[in-house]
A and B are shown apart, each in its own frame.
Chain A
Amino acid sequence: MKTEQDKATAPGACVPWDKKKQELPAMTGDEQLVKKVWEEVDSLPYTFIWQMVVSF
């Protein structure tokens, strides 16, 4: 679902991969694997905060 919010952190993420990647050393291996794992792990604090807001 798209809104006019271009600069906000997208749903499902807390620290987007594009931002995190800039903080890491040069990618010498499979970047997609690093990205996939980062996004999976980063979705956890997203789930936490929004479940706190919505469910609890």
Chain B
Amino acid sequence: MSADKEQLYQQRLKRYTTALRNGKPDRVPIRPFVAEFVARYGGYTCQQVTQDFNLAFEATVKTCANFDWDAAVANMVYVWGGIAQAMGLRYYAIPGVGLAPDTGFQYLEPPEGQSWMREDEYDQLIADPTRFCYEVWLPRVSTEVAKPGEPASYRNQVAMVAGGMALMSYFGAFPAQVQRMRAEAGMPSAIAGILKSPFDIIADKFRGYLGLCDDLMTQPKNVQKAAEALMPHMYHVALTSSDPTGTVPIGFWMHRGCVPLISQEHFDTIFWPTLKPIILELHKQGRQVLFYAEGKWKHHLKTFLELPEGSIVFHCDRDDIFEVHRVLHHKFAISGGLDNYLLAFAKPQQVRQRVKEIIQGVAKDGGYIMDAGAIIQNDATVDNMKAMTDAAREYGQY
């Protein structure tokens, strides 16, 4: 590793982590969650970076080396087609396989009545979530895996071995990728580990959004008990996948737990009571959580103030970044807020203007990290990404 890259890495890491702790670094850090944008920049299709994670890694390193950012995700095109195909996962559409090669991968919402978990299976989930996932969920989401009682077919055995080894192969490649980012681009890795709310797991992976909405009306107690049963597992996954030093936060991907996707009552009685203890426990263990608040969470900002100072970083997607700052800044750092449509459709001057407005409005006292509202896909133009970067550097000096 060259000395200049290591020096750059240390400068950027200090800048990023100072802002994460709601402090005031030397300048506003830039941490774009670049996903399929790296394919566009690197000269690849979405299919290439989704099917071959080594190409995604390559494109990420190239992008990091050529943009003056302070942190990035090692691979934001996080779904590797190899695993999805080994297991025959029914809930994915993968670019180049049923999707256009340059369309990002998609999650397929199960049709109503055909969700991955049936409405009368809550007792099984609640009794033993891990066993439920193996015995009920996995055979249902997979074209390969046999249900209990079915013959343990050749394809079943092959899929389980291939899936397990593929996961280890993929995860095992990340330390070297993080090291490449550091050595070749002087770029810190922005997050480590993953958390989802128990509520979102029920919606995303088990019942589907429509199924969950039905259940909230017809069997809310079972939804609550299921979310409670999932809590220790979500905590375990988050803690064991996190940065043991606590330097960078755990990514917490927030999907459908907000008004109006659910009611305030369901937020108050199910979503939040089954999430808050996880955050508190992670905080006790020295971990910070990045609330990647997809959509709008304005109705819940004050609730998040119940959490200890510095325990989270709030990432703003479609909310009013200035309101988010007014409500949360005294306790938590914030990030994001730059509209993705600007990066895709606006002129560079418009991007520059919005970056200036955001920085002048929310970054004065530190505790702000520049980023788009959502992950940046291949609709963002290179010129607009350069405009965002240059403007953040120009207006982000303290």
Contact = CB atoms under 8 A, between A and B. Distances in A.
Interface of A: 1-5, 7-14, 44-56
A7 B126 CA distance: 10
**Which 4 pairs of residues, A with B, have the shortest CB-CB distance?**
A11-B236, A8-B128, A1-B232, A1-B235
A8 B127 contact: yes
A53 B201 contact: yes
B39 to A, nearest CB: 19
A3 B237 contact: no
Given A1-B236, A1-B278, A49-B138, 5 more contacts: A5-B127, A5-B128, A7-B127, A44-B164, A50-B233
A55 B78 contact: yes
Contact of B163 (A3, A48, A55): A48
Interface of B: 78-79, 83-84, 87, 89, 126-131, 133-134, 137-138, 163-164, 167-168, 171, 194-196, 201, 205, 228-229, 231-237, 240, 277-278, 281
Considering residues B89, B130, B234, which has the most beta carbons from chain A within 10 angstroms of its beta carbon? Answer: B130
Given A4-B228, A8-B130, A56-B83, A48 B167 contact: yes
A27 B293 CA distance: 51
27 contacts: A1-B235, A1-B236, A2-B232, A5-B128, A5-B229, A5-B232, A9-B128, A11-B235, A11-B236, A12-B240, A14-B130, A44-B168, A47-B167, A48-B164, A48-B167, A49-B133, A49-B134, A49-B138, A50-B133, A51-B167, A53-B137, A53-B205, A54-B195, A54-B234, A54-B237, A56-B79, A56-B89
A56 B50 CA distance: 12
Considering residues A9, A45, A54, which has the most beta carbons from chain B within 10 angstroms of its beta carbon? Answer: A54
A54 B242 CA distance: 14
Nearest to B166: A48
A14 B134 CA distance: 10
Contacts of B229: 3, 5, 8
A10 B131 CA distance: 11
A54 B164 contact: no
Given A1-B278, A11-B232, A12-B236, A52 B127 contact: no
Contacts, number: 84
B233 A52 contact: no
A14 B237 CA distance: 14
Contacts of B134: 14, 45, 49
Nearest to B130: A9
B199 to A, nearest CB: 13
Given A2-B232, A11-B235, A55-B78, A50 B130 contact: yes
A50 B322 CA distance: 37
B127 A56 contact: no
Contacts of A4: 228
A47 B277 CA distance: 22
A44 B235 CA distance: 17
A51 B174 CA distance: 15
A47 to B, nearest CB: 8
A49 B237 CA distance: 11
A56 B134 CA distance: 15
A49 to B, nearest CB: 5
Given A1-B277, A46-B130, A11 B89 contact: no
Given A8-B229, A11-B232, A49-B138, A54 B194 contact: yes
A1 to B, nearest CB: 5
B355 to A, nearest CB: 31
B88 to A, nearest CB: 12
Contacts of A46: 130
Contacts of A11: 232-233, 235-236
Contacts of A44: 164, 168
Contacts of B89: 56
Considering residues A2, A10, A51, which has the most beta carbons from chain B within 10 angstroms of its beta carbon? Answer: A51
A46 B129 CA distance: 11
Contact of B133 (A1, A7, A10, A53): A53
A6 to B, nearest CB: 11
A44 to B, nearest CB: 7
Contacts of A14: 130, 134
